[in-house]
C-alpha cells in the first residue's frame, strides 16, 4: 500500500530552475473553452468567458506555465484569446473551427450549492479531434479538465505515445457519469489523480459514504482522489493518506461557476511548480486549490480570478493556515 508519493517518486527527479530533465516545466490542459450564461441571486451574465480549461488555465498560470488544447468557433471573441495570452497561456493548441463555440447555461438557487444546468450545446466539440502541437511534446504534467472522456482519452493516448507525462490528473462531471461511464473508467485507469465533486463521487461509486466511495474510485486505478465539497472544503484520499481542507470563509459569493476548475488549477499548478508529491506538498497544494476556488467565487466569469496578485494568493493561504491551527 503506498500513496502517490511512494508510488512514483522517480517521476519527480530534482528540479533546477524550473527545468525537469531539460524539459521546461509546464502543464498541458485539454478541456472546454466556453461561452457561459449564468444566473445567480446576485445577477446574470450572457455568453461570458468560461469553460473548464479556461478556469483551470488561468488559475494554474499563477503557479506554472500552461499550454492549452481546446476548440472554439468562429464566434469566439478575440479579446478572450488575448486574456488567455495575458496569463501566458500558450494558445497554439486552441483550434478555431467552423461553427459555434461550446455553450453552457446554468442557474443557481439562493443556496448556491444547488445549481441547475439549463443547457449544454457542444457545438464545435461535436467534431473536435484534439491535435497536439509539436511544441507541446514531452510536457511533464497533463491535466484533463472536464470534457467528454473520449476526448480526454484521445489526448492522454496521443501525449503518452511518445512519453508518458510524469503526472496525469482529470476532472469530470455528472453528465459523463450518466452517459459515458465506461469511457470515464478507461481514462481513470491511466490517470494518477481524479478530482470530482462530492455528489458525483457518490454517483460514480453508487455509494453514499464518502470514505467508501473514495475507495471504490481508487480501485479503478488512480492513486489519489480529491473530493470537492463546495463551501465545505475538499478531501484528499490516497491508499495511505486522508487530508481535509476547509473552504475559505467568504462573506459573499457572487458566482461559484468554475470554482472546481480553479481549485484544480491551484492544486495541480502548485504540484507542478514544486515537482514533488510528498505528503506535505500535497496538503499545501490542497490549500492553494482552496485559495484559487475562493477567488473564483467572488466575481462572475473570470472577473476576480484575473485581477489577483501573488500577494493576494499568499495572504489568503496564510489566513487559511491560521483558521485551522489549533
Ligand atoms: P464548475 O463550476 O467548476 O463545475 O465549472 C463550470 C464550467 O464548466 C463552465 O464554465 C462550463 O462552461 C463548463 N462546463 C459545463 N458543462 C460542461 C461539459 N459538459 N463539458 C465541458 N465543460 C463544461
Please indicate, yes or no, if residue 15 is contained in any of the structural domains.
no
**Whether residue 106 has its Cβ less than 6 Å from ligand 1:** no
Is residue 31's pLDDT more than 80?
yes
Which residues constitute the domain of residue 86?
24-324
- What is residue 114's predicted lDDT score, i.e. its pLDDT? 86
The CATH number of the domain holding residue 175 is 3.40.1190.20
* C-alpha of residue 81 to centroid of ligand 1, in Å: 18
13 is a domain residue: no
On whether residue 4 sits in a domain, the answer given is no
Structural domain contains residue 71: yes
Q: For position 14, what pLDDT does the model report?
A: 36
For the CA of 259, the closest atom of ligand 1 is 3
| pLDDT tens-place string over residues 45-73 | 999 999 999 999 999 999 999 999 999 99
> What's the CA-to-centroid distance between 219 and ligand 1, angstroms?
26
Q: Report yes or no on 1 lying in a domain.
A: no
Sheet with 167-171: list strands edge to edge.
89-96, 66-72, 27-30, 141-144, 167-171, 193-197, 224-228, 234-238, 242-245
Segment 231-244 shows an average pLDDT of: 95
Task: Give yes or no for residue 113 CB within 6 A of ligand 1.
Answer: no
150 three-class SS: helix
**Model confidence, pTM:** 0.93
Angle subtended at Cα 51 by Cα 50 and Cα 56, rounded to the nearest 5 degrees: 105
- Give the residue, by CA position, lying nearest to ligand 1 atom 9: 51
**Would the CB of 197 count as within 6 Å of ligand 1?**
no
Taking the mean position of all CA atoms in its chain, how far away is CA 220? Answer: 20
- The number of folded domains in the chain is 1
> Using 50, 70 and 90 to split pLDDT, how confident is the model at 8?
very low
Q: Residue 139 is inside which H or E element, if any?
A: none
Question: Is 195's C-beta closer than 6 angstroms to any atom of ligand 1?
Answer: no
Tell me whether residue 50 is in a domain. Answer: yes
Residue 217 lies in a domain: yes
DSSP states along 23-82: EEP-EEEE---EEEEEEETTEEEEEEEE-HHHHHHHHHTTTS-EEEEEEE-TTS-HHHHH
Amino acid at each position: 500500500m503506498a500513496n502517490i508519493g511512494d508510488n512514483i517518486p522517480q517521476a519527480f527527479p530534482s528540479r533546477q530552475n524550473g527545468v525537469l530533465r531539460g524539459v521546461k516545466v509546464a502543464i498541458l490542459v485539454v478541456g472546454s473553452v466556453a461561452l457561459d450564461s449564468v444566473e445567480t441571486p446576485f445577477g446574470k451574465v450572457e455568453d461570458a468567458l468560461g469553460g473548464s480549461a479556461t478556469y483551470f488555465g488561468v488559475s494554474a498560470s499563477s503557479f506554472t506555465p500552461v499550454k492549452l488544447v481546446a476548440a472554439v468557433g468562429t464566434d469566439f471573441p478575440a479579446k478572450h484569446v488575448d486574456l488567455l495570452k495575458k496569463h501566458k497561456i500558450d494558445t497554439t493548441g486552441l483550434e478555431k473551427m467552423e461553427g459555434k463555440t461550446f455553450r453552457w447555461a446554468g442557474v443557481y438557487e439562493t443556496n448556491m450549492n444547488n445549481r441547475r444546468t439549463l443547457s449544454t450545446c457542444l457545438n464545435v466539440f461535436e467534431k473536435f479531434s484534439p491535435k497536439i502541437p509539436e511544441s507541446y511534446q514531452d510536457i511533464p504534467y497533463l491535466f484533463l479538465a472536464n470534457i467528454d472522456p473520449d476526448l480526454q482519452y484521445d489526448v492522454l493516448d496521443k501525449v503518452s505515445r511518445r512519453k508518458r507525462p510524469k503526472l496525469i490528473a482529470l476532472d469530470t462531471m455528472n453528465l459523463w457519469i450518466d452517459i459515458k461511464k465506461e469511457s470515464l473508467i478507461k481514462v481513470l485507469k491511466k490517470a494518477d489523480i481524479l478530482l470530482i465533486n462530492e455528489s458525483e463521487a457518490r454517483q460514480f461509486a453508487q455509494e453514499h459514504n464518502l470514505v467508501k466511495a473514495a475507495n471504490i474510485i481508487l480501485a479503478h486505478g488512480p492513486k489519489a482522489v480529491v473530493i470537492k465539497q463546495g463551501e465545505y472544503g475538499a478531501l484528499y484520499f490516497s491508499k495511505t493518506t486522508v487530508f481535509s481542507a476547509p473552504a475559505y470563509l467568504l462573506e459573499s459569493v457572487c458566482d461559484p461557476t468554475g470554482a472546481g476548475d480553479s481549485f484544480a488549477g491551484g492544486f495541480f499548478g502548485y504540484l507542478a511548480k514544486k515537482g514533488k508529491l510528498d505528503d506535505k506538498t500535497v496538503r499545501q497544494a490542497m490549500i492553494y486549490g482552496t485559495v484559487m476556488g475562493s477567488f473564483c467565487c467572488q466575481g462572475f466569469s473570470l472577473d476576480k480570478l484575473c485581477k489577483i496578485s501573488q500577494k493576494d494568493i499568499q495572504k489568503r493561504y496564510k489566513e487559511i493556515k491560521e483558521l485551522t491551527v489549533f
